[in-house]
Copies of this chain bind each other. A is one copy, B any other.
Amino acid sequence: MSTPAYTRLDVDERRRQLLELGAELFARHGYEELSMARIAREAGISKALLYHYFPSKQAYFSATLEQAAEELAEVTEPDPSQPPVEQLAASLDAYLGWVERHMGAYDKLIRGVGAVPEVRELVERVREETAARILAGIAPDREPSPMLRAAVRGWLWFMDGAVLDWIEHRDIDRPRLHALLLGTLLGAVTASGEPLG
Residues of A within 8 A of B (CB): 111-116, 119-120, 146-147, 149-151, 153-162, 164-166, 169, 171-172, 176-177, 179-184, 186-188, 190-192
Contacts and interface: CB of A to CB of B under 8 A. Distances in A.
Interface of A is mostly: helix
Contact of A187 (B111, B112, B188): B188
B179 A150 contact: no
A149 B149 CA distance: 26
Contact of A161 (B147, B156, B162, B164): B156
How many copies of this protein are present in the complex?
2
Nearest to A179: B191
A187 B162 CA distance: 14
18 contacts: A112-B114, A113-B113, A114-B114, A114-B115, A147-B176, A150-B172, A153-B161, A153-B162, A153-B165, A154-B180, A154-B181, A155-B158, A155-B184, A157-B157, A158-B161, A158-B188, A182-B191, A187-B188
A122 B2 CA distance: 59
Contact of A154 (B119, B149, B165, B191): B165
Which 4 pairs of residues, A with B, have the shortest CB-CB distance?
Answer: A187-B187, A183-B191, A157-B161, A154-B162
B183 A187 contact: yes
Contacts of A159: 154
Most B C-beta atoms less than 10 A away, residue of A162, A181, A182: A162
A148 to B, nearest CB: 10
A191 B185 CA distance: 10
A60 to B, nearest CB: 20
A52 to B, nearest CB: 32
A180 B158 contact: no
A188 B179 CA distance: 10
Contact of A150 (B150, B153, B177): B177
A180 B157 contact: no
